A = this chain, B = another copy of it.
Amino acid sequence: MVIIEGLSIGDELLDGRVVDSNAARIDHALRALGHRTGRRVVVPDDPAQIATAVAAAAARCELCVVTGGLGPTSDDVTAQAVAQAAGVPLLEDAHALEHLTTRLAGRPLTPARRKQAAIPQGAQALLNPVGTAPGFLVRIGGCQVLVLPGVPREVAGFLERDLARLVPPADQATTVRLRFALVGESALAAAVESHALEGVTVGYRAQGPETEISFRGPSDAVRAAAHLARAAFPDACLPDGLNLAQATLAAARAAGATLATAESCTGGLVGGALTAIPGSSDVVFGGIIAYSNTVKSAVLGVPSATLEAHGAVSEPVARAMAQGARQATTATAAVAITGIAGPGGGTADKPVGTVWFAWRGPDFDDTERHQLAGDRDQVRRYAVAHALDGLRRRMTRP
């Protein structure tokens, strides 16, 4: 196993402004290759401290993954500090400059922007798959130092494209990953870890309403473990590593359905999740964000009498919203959501977190009431997941 350290750079990581989410992102990607980060250091945007930390890490480990401080501003001093630790000058890299110019798409190549193309002499430039600043790989003594920008989506892009190529997997053990909708880590752990899983390392990663479980070890044992997890929650297991929105879209496409949404408390997030997927336009017709009762009545045709008699957060209103969305958009299936996301608006009968869902399609007309936990953001995110999962399950029914 390679000895690995992480080095995170940025004032904002040390004054409470930013949680270092890149650290977990990198460590997780390394673990997927069978590696483990042995230690991490966080230092501010100070050239001397960065250079000292890089040199110290390079003396201790074989791979040092550095993030942050490669941008265009004066507090971005990482490239210069790494060059100092390596004992080489900074040189402008022709490929990096060309890539930068392309990315700027006509915006002026100011000196501040141009400096991003300068990397330590002898380093290999890694063109940024998402943004402007290149990453680079430079050898210092016996250590490969991989330097990436600090923007989380850029880090994710580099890891996906480059990591497996730059860091060989630790061994030939099999890894299987399964993704579950609306099943938590502890429920998965209870289902799996009561069995003997010889030589299998189990990992969990919760991403809000979705949980990924990974098994690594001998292939027979890994397959058996994956079977246990799938068998415990057969309907919640998403196919082919798809996320919930992707799985919903795939199920609708396979069923020949088209989709519409009617959203109150989620305010458009179900539509946003479905249309995040390239090529969703063959399935997703659209939807109505019916935040006010006026829109529920005027656009979705929910009778005012129903709103008055039952309140906006109620089963009959959810049902009428789903049917209204189907009719307004001509989609074959629709989901409706009406709930109380909080922090205000709760009552004894309908506390914060109360959400009514309705699903309407050619062969289903169902409603459910859920009591969701957490703050406004969490209630909304789980409501989106329940809405999608309800659609997905109804589209995949035999």
With A19-B20, A284-B291, A329-B295 known as contacts, the answer to whether A268 contacts B276 (CB < 8 A) is: no
The 8 Å CB contact of A279, one of B12, B274, B344, B380, is: B344
Cβ contact within 8 Å between A24 and B28: no
In the assembled complex, which residues on chain B have CB atoms less than 8 Å from the CB atom of A13? 23-24, 27, 40
Give chain B residues whose Cβ lies under 8 Å from the Cβ of A328. 295, 298-299
Question: Residue A375 at the B interface, CB < 8 A?
Answer: yes
The reply to whether A19 and B15 contact each other, CB–CB distance below 8 Å, is: no
Chain B CB within 8 A of A203 CB: yes
A202 interface residue (CB < 8 Å to B): yes
Across the interface, name the chain B residue whose C-beta is closest to A23. B20
- Chain A contributes a number of interface residues (CB within 8 A of B) equal to 100
Q: In the complex, A43 Cα to B36 Cα: how many Å?
A: 12
Q: A269-B268, A271-B267, A290-B286 are in contact. Are A29 and B41 (CB under 8 A)?
A: no
State the CA gap A77–B360 with chains docked (Å).
45
A390 within 8 A of B: no
B289 touches A289 (CB 8 A): yes
Q: How far is the CA of A74 from the CA of B188 in the complex (A)?
A: 11
A189 vs B74: C-alpha distance when bound (angstroms): 7
Q: Is A366 an interface residue (CB 8 A)?
A: no
Report whether B289 and A281 are in contact in the complex, using a CB–CB cutoff of 8 Å. no
Chain B positions within 8 Å of A45 at CB level: 203
Binds B, one of A88-96, A105-113, A117-125: A105-113
The answer to the question of A396 belonging to the interface, with a C-beta cut-off of 8 Å to chain B, is no
Q: Is A17 in contact with chain B by the CB < 8 A criterion? A: yes
Q: A206-B151, A275-B267, A299-B329 are in contact. Are A19 and B21 (CB under 8 A)?
A: yes
A212 to chain B, nearest CB (A): 8
Instruction: Give the residues from 41 to 82 in chain A that come closer than 8 angstroms, CB to CB, to chain B.
Output: 41-45, 49, 71-75
Contact A342 B278 (CB under 8 A): yes
Specify which of A38, A153, A272, A373 lies most central, judged by the most chain B CB atoms within 10 Å of its CB.
Answer: A272
**Distance to closest chain B CB from A167 (angstroms):** 14
Interface mask (A208-246 → B, CB under 8 Å = 1, otherwise 0): 000000000000000000000000000000000000000
Contact A268 B278 (CB under 8 A): no
With A31-B16, A72-B189 as given contacts, are A267 and B278 in contact (CB-CB < 8 Å)? no
- A112 near B299: Cβ-Cβ < 8 Å: no
Q: What are 30 A-B interface contacts by the 8 Å CB criterion?
A: A11-B203, A13-B24, A14-B27, A16-B28, A17-B24, A17-B204, A23-B42, A40-B42, A42-B42, A45-B203, A71-B186, A73-B188, A73-B204, A105-B371, A112-B189, A263-B268, A267-B272, A267-B280, A268-B289, A271-B271, A276-B377, A280-B291, A281-B292, A286-B289, A286-B290, A287-B291, A288-B288, A288-B299, A295-B328, A298-B329
Top 4 closest pairs, chain A to chain B, by CB: A16-B28, A268-B268, A267-B275, A268-B271
Interface residues of A (CB under 8 A from B): 6, 11-21, 23-31, 36-45, 49, 71-75, 103, 105, 110, 112-113, 130, 151, 153, 185-186, 188-190, 193, 202-206, 261, 263, 265-272, 274-276, 278-281, 284-292, 294-295, 298-299, 328-330, 342-344, 371, 373-378, 380
